[in-house]
Amino acid sequence: MSGTLYLVPTPIGNLGDISPRCADILAQADFIAAEDTRVSIKLLNHLGLKKPMVTYHRHNKETGGQAVLDRLLSGESCALVTDAGTPAISDPGEELVALCARAEVPVVALPGPCALVTALAVSGLPTGRFTFEGFLAMNKKNRRTHLEALVQEERTMLFYEAPHKLTATLADLRETFGPERRIALCRELTKLHEEVRRTTLGEAADWYAVNPPKGEFVLVVEGASPKEKVETTAGQALELVTALRKEGYSLRDAVRQVSKETGVGKNELYDLAVEQGC
Ligand code: SAM
């Protein structure tokens, strides 16, 4: 009979946030698969535990994953931990869970620290419906494409962000959603310098342009208000493209602009425009 894979969330800053149940599972599992054993050893020392550890991270997903699966299939149990927070959430684990699911190996997820949930709860923005967007791409073009797809998103949006990318991301968020859109910047949650800055995209972009960001951030951005949503048919969008073409826009730029403003799909609009000889 195969063993169980336990997904064990670990503190995102405050070691006191490890739950008794998580500590028990770490103590009882046959071995621990860690994103970085040098990070996890600190937690184990804090708990007074000594355990065999293997690494499972984004660069050894295939070999590391198969090795963990083989041990599970032979009957051992494994606790998967990452550097901080919940495994499989913008962290290694997703593929290992899929591998186990395919092999019918039991997977048990323990509840515990997760930066996105902590940030959402403290943001002061609507929590009823939200969308987690993970990390935005490093590449500006891909980042903008991602954000443009969210122009009409009415749910609260959450992004993970690294401090060295924050200024550029805030500038892109302001340009895409407008300077008045509300944002909560949740920094260093559960740590000594924890801070929640509730402001607007315009003010946040200005502030961080001159005050270099430090620490870990979750950005919680207000969704579009329903009145901003414009229901435009493909035919109406085509008329807007034609008007922009007359103003001298290239076809590509006109389609991009109209798609962004109306929510009509870029590819659909481009094909229609070519078909109509715009
Ligand atoms: N799996 C983790 C979780 O459940 O939250 C997320 C891991 S992801 C690689 C790391 C990102 O989470 C950071 O870049 C930051 O956006 C966010 N994060 C982690 N700890 C944080 C904290 N204490 N305060 C604010 N954001 C944090």
Query: Could you tell me the two tokens for 143?
Result: 């980042």
What average pLDDT score do residues 212-227 get?
Answer: 94
> What is the Å distance from ligand 1's center to 185 Cα?
13
- Per-residue pLDDT, 233: 85
Name the pTM for this structure.
Answer: 0.84
Interatomic CA distance for residues 69 and 63, integer angstroms: 10
State yes or no: pLDDT of 227 exceeds 80. Answer: no
CB atoms closer than 10 angstroms to residue 193: 9
Whether 153 and 223 have beta carbons less than 8 Å apart is answered as: yes
- Return the pLDDT at 30: 98
Contact 41, 50 (CB under 8 A): no
Distance (angstroms) between ligand 1 centre and the Cα of 93 equals 15
Q: Which of 12, 94, 161 has the most ligand 1 atoms within 8 A of CB, as the residue to mutate?
A: 12
The C-alpha atoms of residue 160 and residue 276 are separated, in whole angstroms, by: 42
The residue whose CA has the least distance to atom 8 of ligand 1 is: 90
Q: Quick one: pLDDT at residue 229?
A: 55
| Mutation to probe ligand 1, out of 57, 135, 216, 217 (largest number of atoms < 8 A from CB) | 216
The 10s digit of each residue's pLDDT in 161-215 is 999 999 999 999 999 999 999 999 999 999 999 999 999 999 999 999 999 999 9
At residue 228 the predicted structure's pLDDT band, cuts being 50, 70 and 90, is low
Question: Which atom of ligand 1 is the closest one to the Cα of 159?
Answer: 16
Mutate which of 122, 217, 219 to test ligand 1's pocket (most atoms within 8 Å of Cβ)? Answer: 217
The confidence band for 261, taking pLDDT boundaries of 50, 70 and 90, is confident
Sheet holding 195-200, edge to edge: 130-135, 156-161, 217-221, 182-187, 195-200
Query: How far, in Å, is the centroid of ligand 1 from the Cα of 252?
Result: 37
Question: What share of the chain has pLDDT > 70, as a percent?
Answer: 98
pLDDT tens per residue, range 139-169:
999 999 999 999 999 999 999 999 999 999 9
Spatial distance between the Cα atoms of 109 and 87, rounded to a whole number of angstroms: 9
